[in-house]
Structure 1
Amino acid sequence: MIMVGKRVWAVIRIAIIVVIALMFILPFYWVIVTSLNTQGQSMQFPPVFLPHGHFSNYARSWSEAPWLQYFANTIFIALVTTLLSLFTSLFAGFAFATMRFPGKSVIFAAFLAIMMIPQTVLLIPDYILLADIHWLNTYWAQIVPWGASVFGIFLLRQFFMGLPIEYWEAAQIDGASRLRYLWQFGVPAARPALITVALYVFIGSWNSFLWPYIMTSSPSVQPVEVGLATFLGTNGTDWTGLSAAVVYTTLPVLLLFLVAQRQFLEGVYAGGGGLKG
């Protein structure tokens, strides 16, 4: 009887997982189907659930917007933001985990409190600030404000707090400074956590829309998400072309996550090990 109950529960769990997976997969599948059908098929009822291979939709949508410029902008912004976030997260996380200084707990609590502030609340004062320093419609406006990740600092702090204190004591006996200890031991040991932060920041930067939409006005510095919104505004009735644009703007970051999801999960688990501290 117990074995039967376990099997039933296993079947129920699998069914729930399948349903949840379909909820996430079906919208993207529908976009792919629409991108490969004609305009008439995309409006047909009942819907056409199978693609018909109209790849000309991709060529048409690609020719109607400066997508190469958008992709170049996005890659540059995402890479520089990721590198800057890794740098600040590594040093800030290490400092919060291993060093003693006045107000340490208060400062860290303030960092965590930032995560609770909605971004929209700060849009107007941030816009005024960027306008005053002449950073509107620049790469800097899309990079510098996101060069420090609260999530990254928290994750690296938890990771370094989980390292045995004996490692640092042994490094001190060998005459190593904190910086040398961090570079020669901390960075290699924190590789999973660093990869997690890099993926988190890169994907967040790639998917960023509201901030660059408000802070930029020229395609020469705008990312793909803003380019997609511009394309929607000018080609809003071209559902097949719009769907094609959605596919090739979403697919790169989706493939990146699928390739690196194992490292992402390892980093989360590694950072979580420090929660007991």
Structure 2
Amino acid sequence: MSNVETLERDAAPAAAPRPGKIVGEKVNVFYGDKHALLDVDLSIGENQVTSLIGPSGCGKSTFLRCLNRMNDVIDICRVSGKITLDGEDIYDSRLDVVQLRARVGMVFQKPNPFPKSIYDNIAYGPRIHGIGQNKTELDEIVQRSLERAGLWKEVQDRLDQPGTGLSGGQQQRLCIARAIAVSPEVILMDEPCSALDPIATARIEELIDELRENYTIVIVTHSMQQAARVSQKTAFFHLGRLVEHGDTEEIFTNPRDERTQGYITGRFG
């Protein structure tokens, strides 16, 4: 190989990093006159769990709700900046928000099963979106979703009973199964274990780890221990700003910002 070829090879640019599944650029959120989120830039990788941590009122749940436009239902809320899902601007006026929320599912802090049977809780979304064309297809979707949520063996003999009759942890797994049923690409979780006991919490955490093989997961958690256990990436928010984002282990063992260090060591929060 000639010296020129060697130089050209050495000078060749490295492959560009793969863009995130969801990318937020200069995201600002206002609730009336209150500036709740300030110039947030955050890239969320595919098939990873990203934890959003920080003190109460720091903007982490506000940012989470931007990712499937849940803030649209709040009259005084205004969002600026850009958020893309696979490169597509989710705030484009031509975008179908219903379809967006099928691609980006949500699990809330408090389990909220519909006042319907276990079966109908899961089948509701596929029926709305025209995914299950007949009873056989719906049966398969219901069983597959409950299996993925680790709930099938516990409820397979009582699918016609109300979802509200399940325990708290089972209800939350039912809500996860309901989100999975429409084949989302992303699952958002807003403190999904805060209302659960330690045993149910451990089961949900195991489930999150299993689900990331097929889904991109973003979880808001008030528990730093939970963030350390379940996530590969962690983003620390403070006073409406994204302070730091990186590998979870790095954030917890060697944070770059003194505010992150202060929060992790319990000096505030």
Higher Rg of the two aligned structures = 1
Q: Give the TM-score range, shorter chain.
A: under 0.3
| TM-score, normalised with respect to structure 2 | 0.24
Structure with the bigger percentage of strand = 2
Query: Bigger relative contact order, structure 1 or 2, given CA contacts below 8 A and separation 6+?
Result: 1
| TM-score, normalised with respect to structure 1 | 0.23
Structure with the bigger percentage of helix = 1
